[in-house]
Amino acid sequence: MNRTVTATKVSATGIVSRVESLDWAQIVNDLDAYGCAAATGVLLPEQCRALAALYDQDGLFRSRIVMSRHGFGRGEYKYWAHPLPEAVATLRCALYPHLAEVANRWNQTMQIDVRYPADHTEYLEQCHEVGQIKPTPLLLQYGEGDFNCLHQDLYGDLVFPLQVAFLMSVPGEDFTGGEFVLTEQRPRMQSRAEVVRLEQGARREMSGSQFEMDDLFDGAFANGAEVEKLAEGAMLFRCFAAAEAVAIFQTVQQIAAISPFRHMVTPGGHRMSVAMTNCGRVGWTTDRRGYRYDPLDPDNGAPWPAMPPALRQLAERAAALAGFPGFDPDSCLINRYEPGAKLTLHQDQNEKCYDPPIVSLSLGLPARFLFGGVSRNGCLRRVRLESGDVVVWGGPSRLAYHGIDPLADGNHPLTGRCRLNLTFRKALA
């Protein structure tokens, strides 16, 4: 059954009082115990219908994402533009103080120094000070057979560790199926999925992950990426950069327009099957004279393109999450793999100092990553890397041998018939 409402303004009447009347003690207990909590009756049916009806008014939104174009699933969503609908803005302001208390207590327990202000306006000011000015509340629309793949979200350096989802439609009347799925990543155990039944106007608070939801808080959210330990000092963060993949791919295209990809030659005269370029203060190169870092692109004699701040910040976040705070990369080697291309086992040892870690980001076609020990003959792991995965290795694993098996043919919705790998290093002393 389809419902249509013509509306340009959605009333916020009663939202604040209904938020305040919620059983917050139970909500907090559920968040602590399960990482999620549900509540009903926050939005009235007429408010839900009115919000959903705004989807076709493109002037109210800043961006539209068709999920199938990016491998996110099937369906679409739109990011609200400023000014936000009154109901959405009121929800954020009313919910935020309660959730900030939870977030601050969690950070204190985990000995994380970050604290969130009690007032939502003050938190927005902090976001704007670091350049996070775009509104992130969004509205999703699904048709028959549509779905949203499991994923996590991260929009910037400032991270708020809780998200809230509201269901706008009526289960059993407007749609069937379309269950809301949450997964829990459990250390050293199998992940556990939970299927949650939501009612119209009901909300679900979650730590970290977004699925079928209407985001409420500007800034950024915690990245609940699945973590795998490859070795001591080596961590794999699944889907860490998935939400930023499109922007990163566009950035790589801009870099390659200045310093195009090329197949370098090893000191032994072998033409590498992987095409390469760089950005940063220096770039990694190889020719008959040897392996080295050079501030100039040998193909055109000009400096390598500067490393974009967004790429640097992504590498810094991943390194910090892996236990290497303060990472300050000055070089990013970008490899392009086409079907059949490979990278033989090697160590990264052309840097001046081995204290900083290596941060490696995958985009596009999946690849089989080889990761061993500090001896070429050591035990070797083969790990499948997907688009958006990030691997960090340092400390006792800094000089671990690693490589890529020959790339299998395929077609990725973002990169086509290739895989891109961005490797961030601190090359200079």
What pTM does this model have? 0.53
User: Do 154 and 220 meet the contact criterion of CB atoms below 8 Å apart?
Assistant: yes
User: Which range is least confidently modeled, 123-127, 161-165, 216-220, 221-225?
Assistant: 216-220
Question: What is the structure's pLDDT at 115?
Answer: 93
Q: Which two tokens stand for residue 404?
A: 């890529």
Q: Residue 219 pLDDT > 80, yes or no?
A: no
CB atoms within 10 A of CB 192: 10
Strand partners, 279: 332
Do domains 15-207 and 227-425 share one topology? The answer is: yes
Domain residue extents for the chain: 15-207, 227-425
Judge whether residue 256 has pLDDT over 90.
yes
Question: How much is the mean pLDDT over the chain?
Answer: 87
**What average pLDDT does the segment 206-219 reach?**
39
pLDDT of residue 50: 94
pLDDT of residue 279: 98
> How buried is 48 (Cβ within 10 angstroms: 0-12 exposed, 13-18 middle, 19+ buried)?
buried
50-101: per-residue pLDDT in tens? 999 999 999 999 999 998 888 888 899 999 999 999 999 999 999 999 999 9
User: What interhelical angle do 120-129 and 86-109 show, nearest 10?
Assistant: 80
The answer to whether the beta carbons of residues 119 and 106 sit under 8 Å apart is no
pLDDT surpasses 70 at 225:
no
Q: What is the pLDDT of residue 56?
A: 94
For the chain, percent of residues with pLDDT exceeding 70: 88
333-392 residue pLDDT tens: 999 999 999 999 999 999 999 999 999 999 999 999 999 999 988 889 999 999 999 999
Q: Look at residue 31 in the predicted model and tell me its pLDDT.
A: 83
User: Which CATH topology does 15-207 take?
Assistant: Jelly Rolls (2.60.120)
**Coil/strand/helix, residue 246:** helix
pLDDT at 70: 82
* pLDDT score recorded for residue 243: 87
Longest Cα–Cα distance of the chain, Å, equals: 74
Other C-beta atoms closer than 10 Å to the C-beta of 289 total 9
CB 355 within 8 A of CB 198: no
Q: What is the pLDDT of residues 395-427, one digit of tens each?
A: 999 999 999 999 999 999 999 999 999 999 999
Query: Among the residues of 221-308, which ranges form H helices?
Result: 245-258
Query: Which 3 state secondary structure label does DSSP give 297?
Result: coil
Backbone angles phi, psi at 7, to 5 degrees: -155, 145
Residue 374, CB-side half-sphere exposure with 13 Å CA sphere = 11
- CA gap 284, 304 in Å, rounded: 10
Give pLDDT, residue 5: 37
For tokens 């970290």, the residue is 208
Closest CA to 281 of 352, 328, 331, 327: 331
SS3 of residue 124 by DSSP: helix
Q: What is the pLDDT of residues 2-39, one digit of tens each?
A: 433 334 578 889 999 999 999 999 888 888 777 788 88
CATH tag for 227-425 (out of 2.60.120.590, 3.40.50.280, 3.90.1150.10, 3.30.2130.10): 2.60.120.590
Which residues, other chains included, contact 326 with Cβ-Cβ below 8 Å and sequence gap of 6+?
Answer: 320
Contact call for residues 321 and 418 (beta carbons, < 8 A) = no
Q: Each residue of 223-250: b (16+ CB within 10 Å) or e?
A: bbbeeeebbebbbbbbbbbbbbbeebbe
